[in-house]
Amino acid sequence: METRSSDLTGQVILVTGAAKRVGRAIALELARRGARVALHYHSSEAEARATAAECGVAELFCANLESVPEIVRMFDEVGARCGRLDGLVNNAARFTGIDPLEITEADWDFIHSVNLKAVFFCAQQAARLMRRTGGGRIVNISSLGGLRPWPKHAHYCASKAGILMLTRALAVAWAPGIAVNAVAPGVIPFEDIDAQGLRLIGRTPAGRGGTPAEVAEAVLYFLQASKFVTGQTLSVDGGLSLR
Ligand SMILES: NC(=O)c1ccc[n+]([C@@H]2O[C@H](COP(=O)([O-])OP(=O)(O)OC[C@H]3O[C@@H](n4cnc5c(N)ncnc54)[C@H](OP(=O)(O)O)[C@@H]3O)[C@@H](O)[C@H]2O)c1
């Protein structure tokens, strides 16, 4: 039988895009549970340093995830500085809304390079590190937009739907040592919420948007669950995907 613990003490868990917002909440929750957080950021250095200080025990890693060589370098650094990797949370992402008739190749690549390609290569590099110490757990952050079609966000929806199939395929590829699961948040409002976000909150059965802490709770579940739970998607959307 695999070993499970009710907390994450001593586990090294990398969270991408963890300087602020949802990624920050995930990093703080993992730190509260005893994990040694490997905190990735790209442009938000000051916020990343502040979040790392709040975590207490956290190592900082900077990388532009658009670049596969940068991803490889970052995981080499994680291996060298942390000695092991037990968990990866693929949280970093981009979001744009553009009429599909107007989408350019650059618009498409802007989203897919981070939202899908980087998720795959981070998972690949993480799995190679995890295998050295007997396995681990990967949690990919998808979106309600990966389950439901949003006409002005077709490119974003495709990237987030891609994460869901990637999750299932990698779960099969890497079982039983590495569990791979996904969390699909609904609307998690911040100050930049747009008209569509407000409309979606209005249609949410729970009657409100979600909180970063609620997404972190779902991530925590997969990081502590039996590896018998793999390839699954947990929606955290107040019931909106049921409409
Ligand atoms: N907020 C929502 O309503 C909502 C809804 C559904 C799904 N989600 C998903 O939940 C996750 C977190 O959401 P969020 O709103 O907190 O995300 P966010 O603030 O839009 O992005 C998170 C981080 O991604 C990093 N990132 C973007 N491009 C990058 C690149 N080229 N290289 C490295 N890092 C890059 C940024 O790091 P730096 O700032 O350091 O550059 C950013 O802080 C995302 O996967 C998102 O798609 C969010």
The CA-based diameter of the chain, rounded to the nearest angstrom, is 53
Contact in structure between 22 and 91 (CB atoms under 8 Å): yes
| Domains identified in the chain, total number | 1
Give the tens place of pLDDT for each residue, 98-145.
999 999 999 999 999 999 999 999 999 999 999 999 999 999 999 999
What pLDDT digit, counting tens, does each position of 41-85 carry?
Answer: 999 999 999 999 999 989 999 999 999 999 999 999 999 999 999
Q: Which residues pair with 234 in a beta bridge?
A: 183
Report how far ligand 1's centroid is from the alpha carbon of 93 (Å).
Answer: 4
- Phi and psi at 207, nearest 5°, equal 80, 15
**Domain contains 7:** no
Q: Is 156 a catalytic residue?
A: yes
Assess if residue 5 is contained within a domain: no
- Strand pairing class (136-141; 36-41): unpaired
| Predicted pLDDT at 7 | 87
Distance 155 CA to ligand 1 centre (A): 16
Has residue 180 got a pLDDT over 90?
A: yes
Name the residue range of residue 85's domain: 12-242
| 6 falls within a domain | no
Evaluate whether residue 1 is within a structural domain.
no
Cβ atoms of residues 169 and 196 within 8 Å: no
What is the pLDDT, as a whole number, of residue 233? 98
pTM above 0.85, yes or no: yes
Local structure of 189: helix, strand or coil: coil
Q: pLDDT digit string (tens) for 208-232?
A: 999 999 999 999 999 999 999 999 9
Residue 1 pLDDT exceeds 60? no
State how far the Cα of 104 lies from the Cα of 123, in Å rounded to an integer.
Answer: 28
**CB contact set of 204 (below 8 Å; sequence gap of 6+):** 186, 187, 237, 238, 239, 240
Select from 95, 110, 138, 234 the residue to mutate for testing ligand 1; criterion: most ligand atoms less than 8 Å from CB. Answer: 95
Ligand 1: atom nearest CA of 45 is 40
Spell out which residues line ligand 1, taking CB within 6 angstroms.
17, 19-23, 41-44, 64-66, 91-95, 114, 141, 143-144, 185, 187-188
- 45, part of any domain: yes
CATH number at residue 203: 3.40.50.720
What is the signed CA dihedral for 160, 236, 210, 195, rounded to 10 degrees? 40
Please list the alpha-helical segments (H only) found in 133-210: 154-174, 195-203
